[in-house]
Copies of this chain bind each other. A is one copy, B any other.
Amino acid sequence: MNDLYKNNKITKLLNIERPIIQGGMVWVSGAKLAAASANAGCLGLIGAGSMKPELLKSQIQKAKSLTDNFHAVGVNIPLLYKYTDEQINVALSEGIKVFFTSAGSPKKYTSYLKEHGATVVHVCASPKLAKKCEDAGVDAVVCEGFEAGGHNGIEEITTMCLIPQVKKVVNIPVIAAGGIASGGSMAAAFCLGADGVQMGTRFLMTKESSANEKFKNYILEASSGDTKLMMKKTVPVRLLRNHFADEIERLEKSNASAEELNSYLGKGRAKAGMLDGDLEEGELEVGQICSLIDSVPSTKEMIEKLESEYISAIKIFK
């Protein structure tokens, strides 16, 4: 066990060395990243949102072959696709014991998963939903602030405000997400009351993530203010500025309807942008903290640096 995190509820709950979760991300977090994260003492999540059941199965098998810490590999399943049932059953039959669920109701699958011996964590963006998650019997919640990349809550509550509010209403462990990409921000999350952190963009920016190299290089050039929470009329999502995002912004400014926005969005934009590297027409889901990231190290190196930043950040309190 790592002395830095003694008595930590998340390391205990998930039997991992560090209270750090590699967030499940569509098109970006496959077997390679999840296994590298597990190998680095974190929890690695295969982002099932972009995978048909067969692909998810092969990705889980691949992850198993890449780590001796397979217990620290979980799946993130958004509860809104037609494949959800199949995804869950494939993951269970492949021996996955940790399920992070998002979107949809936490009531829907929690009992089923727990009956199968799994640990269940639901992602939420408001204290109200966090309380619902606790009532549904989940083991922990990820609380994701306004600054987080990708899909986001409608109340626009920032991590700084969300974590203390959630801690006030639930007793289960709380994992902070949104705006966290350094050891300093991990320590900050703990001060706010979080028991662990989930990072997306920081893990996206590692050698093992499946994000297209062009996409990674584009993020290296991002400045503050280059991401924006958009599509609030449909499903709010934080995007990195590019031609597609500018066009969405233009449509929103001209008061386009949800239908018009969805029609322009079409299908396949996230894959095009994040996996295939179409920086013009693709959808680039990235957190606001991206402008602070200036390198693409291996996952192991990234975690080592983060931990040394953490040690240095908390020195002021000694």
Contact = CB atoms under 8 A, between A and B. Distances in A.
A260 to B, nearest CB: 13
A159 B158 contact: yes
Interface in A261-294: 288-289, 291-292
Nearest to A190: B316
A313 interface: yes
Chain A, interface size: which category? Answer: 35 or more
Contacts of A126: 224-225
A316 B187 CA distance: 10
Contact of A255 (B161, B193, B255, B318): B255
B179 A158 contact: yes
A160 B157 contact: no
Nearest to A252: B255
A178 B160 contact: yes
A10 to B, nearest CB: 13
- Give the copy number: 2
A164 interface: yes
Contacts of A229: 156
A191 interface: yes
Contact of A184 (B164, B223, B313, B316): B164
A313 B190 CA distance: 8
Nearest to A154: B225
B180 A191 contact: no
A228 interface: yes
22 contacts: A146-B146, A146-B158, A147-B157, A147-B160, A156-B229, A158-B159, A158-B179, A160-B178, A160-B188, A161-B288, A161-B292, A184-B193, A185-B191, A187-B191, A187-B317, A188-B189, A191-B314, A254-B255, A314-B314, A314-B317, A317-B317, A318-B318
